[in-house]
Structure 1
Amino acid sequence: MDSWVRFNSQSQAKEKIIRAAQYACTLLGYTLHKGGAGAQLRRTVSQLEAHMSLTRKLLRLGNSVEAIESAKRAIHLSDSILRLCLTVGHLNRAMYFACDNVLWAGKMGLLCKVDQRKWSQRSFKYYLFALILNLTRDVYELHLLMEREARRGAAKSPPSRDSSPCTAAWAVPPDPSAWLRGRLSLLATVLHNNPPLLLDLLKNTCDLFIPLDRLAIYPTGTGFVGACGLASSLLALLTIVHPWLKLKP
């Protein structure tokens, strides 16, 4: 099992490069359509995108195993919220990859009578659930870091005479705009000091629009989906090139 996970991890960079190229083709096809390019050129770009999608599915054949192994590791985390988000998120990723494998087998003719639309919709639902859990994890970690940074700032500032620490937390701010600016400044400081969290938050936010569009929950259009997919792919490649930028656990 461990040897398969190690082998599978070596193909992740290739899959991300092909993913970036696929969504670049999606964005290019949208641009050509808006620009009134010839039908033959648009058809060629569309076929190239389809071939890249099929190649990605081939490279992801073993990802369900890796996702299950990640879920088995996450279930031992001490933080209950992180444990829930990561474990259930990895299990949803495993189901997403399993549906993706069925789609690949159907397109290759290995499975007969595969309803491509049904399995595609099912796949995107698991993908959406996994992304929601990933974003929940990001927001939770962001909240913890902001609270820690706020306590650190409060410890450096002189104590207020007319309020205790307990009552200050629940008091209505005298100037809401100043309070909002302070929170935004705190948010910017935390994200600046934690590049892995910032990159993961941006990547998951970009990816979120893909299943939302494919499931017709929040249609954004082919061009926007292509731009989001390309951006998230480049961010994922950045974490592969620089592993310290990958959010842990």
Structure 2
Amino acid sequence: MDSWLRFSAQSQSKERLFRAAQYACTLLGYTLQKGGAAAELRKTVSQLEAHMSLTRKLMRLGNSVEALEAAKRAIHLSDSVLRLCLTISHLNRAMYFACDNVLWAGKTGLISKLDQHKWSQRSFRYYLFALILNLTRDVYELRLLMESEARYRATKSSPSTTQPEEQLITPATPVNAALPFVSLWLRRQLHLLVTVLYSNPPLLLDLLKNSCDIFIPLDRLGIYPTGSGFVGACGLASSVLSILTMIHPWLKLKP
């Protein structure tokens, strides 16, 4: 098992490079179509994208094992919210990879008469649910850090200067009179958000990566169609961020 996990970890970096190339081809194909490029050139780019996708599916064979191992580790986390989000997310990733493996077998002809559209939609549904859980985890950790930062700032402030808007706004306060305090509260929250994200690059990168990735299954499932150009840009951006976390492991969000 350990040897397989080491092999899987090595193949992940190559898979990410192919993923970046695949979505770069998607974005290039959209650009060529909008620019009125020759049909032969667009066909070549489309075929290259398909080959990249098939190669990635080959590299992901057996990734379900790694996802299941990650789920086994996550189930022992002490934080109940993180335990729930990460465990179910890894289980959905395992199902996504399993469906992807079946789809690869169908595309290569190992499984004849496979309904590729059905299996593709099924895999994207698992992928979407995993991303939703990952984003939930990111927002949860962000909220915890913002609360911690707010408490730290409160300890450095005098009682007379803490939370003036809460002291002054009452149910009887006119709406026009409350607006300046609401605006002040929003500015403080925004500044708090920027401060927390700036001081926690792993959380920022993970939030950006998952936010980019989620548009891919939303488009493929027809829930929120955005077009191949936007999907290509999002996929390329998230791939670059993933590669960055592999080059600099300290940027990977833990656990």
TM-score, normalised relative to structure 2: 0.93
- Residue 215 in structure 1 maps to residue 221 in structure 2: yes
Change (3 A) 1:61 1:182: same
Tell me, what secondary structure is at the counterpart of 2:160? coil
Ranges in structure 2 where 5+ consecutive residues have no aligned partner = 172-177
Can you list the C-alpha shifts for 1:124-179, whole angstroms capped at 9, x where unaligned?
00000000000000000000000000000000001138989xx86x9787611111
Which residue number corresponds to residue 185 of structure 1? 191
Whole-angstrom CA distance in 2 between matches of 1:198 and 1:171: 36
For the Cα contact (< 8 Å) 2:18–2:52, is it kept in 1? yes
Whole-angstrom CA distance in 2 between matches of 1:101 and 1:61: 6
Which residue number corresponds to residue 47 of structure 2? 47
> What's the offset of the Cα at 1:111?
0.9
Which residue number corresponds to residue 20 of structure 1? 20
1:227 maps to which of 229, 233, 250: 233
- Percent of pairs identical after alignment? 77
Aligned runs of 1:139-218 on 2, under 5 Å?
139-160=139-160, 175-218=181-224
Whole-angstrom CA distance in 2 between matches of 1:229 and 1:62: 22
Aligned runs of 1:46-195 on 2, under 5 Å?
46-160=46-160, 175-195=181-201
Letter in structure 1 aligned against 2:211: T
Can you list the C-alpha shifts for 1:16-67, whole angstroms capped at 9, x where unaligned?
0000000000000000000000000000000000000000000000210000
TM-score, normalised relative to structure 1: 0.95
Letter in structure 2 aligned against 1:60: R
Letter in structure 2 aligned against 1:232: S
More off after superposition, 108-117 vs 222-231: 108-117
Can you list the C-alpha shifts for 1:209-239, whole angstroms capped at 9, x where unaligned?
0000000000000000000000000000000
Letter in structure 1 aligned against 2:141: E
Whole-angstrom CA distance in 1 between matches of 2:116 and 2:53: 14
> What's the offset of the Cα at 1:83?
0.1
> What's the offset of the Cα at 1:246?
0.1
Whole-angstrom CA distance in 1 between matches of 2:234 and 2:78: 34
Whole-angstrom CA distance in 2 between matches of 1:107 and 1:225: 22
Letter in structure 2 aligned against 1:231: A
Can you list the C-alpha shifts for 1:99-125, whole angstroms capped at 9, x where unaligned?
000000011111111100000000000
Letter in structure 2 aligned against 1:85: C
Whole-angstrom CA distance in 2 between matches of 1:127 and 1:13: 19
Change (3 A) 1:159 1:219: same
